[in-house]
């Protein structure tokens, strides 16, 4: 009879331990899911920022190319007017 009581007590103890571990695992899973959601939000935000920066870079490159073309055109025109009046 004592062996039966000891077995029942051991089973009850193991059940409590199992339930505690299950609770811990569920809390850990919830934390991981929250972290996953947070990371996905961060990834989405950063992706949006990267797209905005890409647009800004493209605009800056386009503007720089236009300014360079304008500078070269002005240099070409000033070179013609200079040489044209001297050669005249």
pTM, full prediction: 0.57
d(CA 79, CA 83): 6
**pLDDT for residue 44:** 97
Q: What are phi and psi of 17, to 5 degrees?
A: -60, -45
Please, where are the H alpha helices in 1-88?
A: 2-87
Through-space distance between the first and last CA atoms of the chain, rounded to whole angstroms: 128
**Does the pLDDT value for residue 84 go beyond 70?**
no
The per-residue pLDDT for range 19-74, each reduced to its tens digit, is 999 999 999 999 999 999 999 999 999 999 999 999 999 999 999 999 999 999 99
- Give the range among 7-11, 43-47, 49-53, 80-84 with minimum mean pLDDT: 80-84
């Amino acid at each position: 009879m004592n062996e039966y009581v000891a077995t029942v007590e051991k089973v009850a103890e193991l059940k409590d331990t199992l339930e505690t571990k299950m609770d811990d695992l569920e809390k850990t899973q919830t934390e991981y899911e929250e972290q996953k959601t947070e990371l996905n939000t961060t990834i989405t935000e950063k992706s949006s920022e990267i797209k905005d920066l890409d647009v800004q870079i493209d605009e800056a490159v386009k503007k720089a190319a236009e300014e360079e073309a304008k500078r070269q055109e002005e240099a070409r025109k000033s070179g013609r007017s200079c040489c044209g009046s001297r050669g005249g």
